Amino acid sequence: MAFGVGTRCHSNLPQKLAVSVVSDYCHPMNNRSIAAPTSLSILLAVLCFFSPAIANEGSSETSYLLKAEGYTVKIRPRVEYPPMKDSKGSHSGAGFLIDSERGWIATNAHVSSRNPESVEVSFKGQSFFEAKLLFVDRYLDLAVLEVPREKMPAGVKKAQLRCDDWPEVGSKVGAYGHPLSLDFSVTTGIVSGLRYRHNRYWVQTDAAINNGNSGGPLISIKTGEVVGINAMGYSKQSSEGLGFAVPMVYACRVFKLLREGKNPSVPYLPAAFATSDEVPDKLVVATTYDELPVKWALEPGDQLVSLASDLKTKFKNQADLIHALRGSDGDIAVDIVRQGKSQTLNLAALARPRMIDWVGLHFSGMVVGKERLRDTGLSNPNDEIMILDVASASVGSVSGIGAYSYLNTVDGLRLTNIQKLCAYLRQAENENQKVKMVTRSREWEYMSASTYELFNVSIKDVKLVGPHVREGVACDK
């Protein structure tokens, strides 16, 4: 039997075959008949037909690593004055280039911090250099850094992002980053699921996500596209193969709004929603709040169904509503069900202030500031300043003051303005005077949900702090 094959054969053919026979048989220029046993001819044809596909598949499954090596960076922030949920000190994580023209790097908010004293990045083979925090979103656990274009490697290419849809469950992915200081390396697995947990959506993967992976890209091995931002893994002591990444479909929305010059911060939600395992995938109003800059004419029991302008945008949970309103300003028409009847209602959309514009106050080893919660009318009716962090071994720590309590009074005065509190404490510092601080904690005390404590505090190192606050700025700035 004779075959003429027009495909180049690769060197992974059985070594026992004669080289002359193989080259004659598989070379595209030699489409001639060769006398050979039928079984051998069939084997040769099959091998020559499939070997390029196998090689190409192997090449495509490794080429994404070469690209990731170019666009992934190492990030090294230092935090001196941490706001809520951040920690003082230095650490490292990963990030990746999303816009080579603007020099934008995507990472996690918990990598960059909300108020870094400094943040440095390095591409592979380069030294660290200074970056600027451009945007941070604690809800998505997303941050965008900006680096000077002249500091980037010549010809560096940005990551290709999968912005339009979710990755397929079961598809192969690689979690790229610097796990446990093993710089620019990958762990592989699959997309295990698409989850809604802790009021957020996640891409779940069994690719190992360890310290140092946070902020790095979760990459589709098949397409080379980034499908998520590595964020966290469950404790290895209690689980295995449970990692989570920020979905690119939501991160890309933030990048787009930033490019358009809009505020991509999460919107105010002047309502709380009741959840139940017995009533899944329904967004039902529990109560509304009147203390925020926007108000909604919703009633308890109302079910929010979808955007009136796009019926495909369904509201199964709070995250769907947040992402639908992100970037909007003004009234948004929403379809609801009230007492069994469908109707359309306008909800006012307004973005929260950018977190990079936050201004806090440091004194005596403590960081205090304002956190405008949804239920501030219940949790903080007097608009008190919150104690966000107390450094270990600081004056505040030695005094016994704890974080996440409220500053009720200072020397009997209710000071609810950061700048006025700064001026008062700076005067006390200049006069070397202690102040009497009364704090309020939301803890059970006799027939009360609040506990009050009194402290005599030495005042030291009073300064305004924040991402855009200059060192030594006056209290009234």
Decide: 271 and 285 in contact? Cβ < 8 Å.
yes
CA–chain centroid gap for 227, Å, is 13
Separation of alpha carbons 302 and 324, rounded Å = 18
* Helices vs. strands in the chain: H and E counts, helices first: 8, 27
Residue with tokens 């083979």: 125
Q: Which amino acid is at 477?
A: K
Structure tokens at 107: 């990472």
Exactly one of 141, 320, 335, 389 is catalytic; which is it? 141
Distance separating alpha carbons of residues 362 and 82, to the nearest angstrom: 10
Helix (H, G, I), strand (E, B) or coil at 299: coil
Residue 214 appears among annotated catalytic residues:
yes
Rounded Cα–Cα distance for residues 83 and 115 (Å) = 7
The answer to whether the beta carbons of residues 326 and 378 sit under 8 Å apart is no
Burial 360-390 (b: 16+ CB within 10 A, else e): bbbbbbbbbbbeeebebeeebeeebbbbbbb
CA distance between the termini of the chain? 90
309: region left, alpha or beta (phi > 0 left; psi from -120 to 50 alpha): alpha
Q: What is the dihedral of CA 266, 272, 278, 282, to 10 degrees?
A: -50
Active site residue 110: yes
Name the residue type at position 128. Answer: F
Choose, from 92, 185, 214, 405, the residue flagged as catalytic: 214
Write the CA distances from 366 to 371, 372, 393, 424, integer angstroms. 15, 19, 11, 16
Question: CA 20, CA 32: separation in Å to the nearest integer?
Answer: 14
Read off the DSSP letter of residue 448: B
Q: How far is CA 431 from the centre of its chain?
A: 44
Q: Find how far residue 100's CA is from the centre of its chain.
A: 20
| Cα–Cα dist 322/450, whole Å | 31
* Residue 99 token pair: 């816009």
Task: List C-alpha distances in Å: 140 to 54, 237, 248, 369.
Answer: 39, 26, 11, 22
Cα separation, 107 vs 93, whole angstroms: 8
How many Å apart are CA 51 and CA 360, to the nearest integer?
Answer: 63
Residue in 51, 86, 92, 110 annotated catalytic: 110
Provide the annotated active-site residues. 110, 141, 214
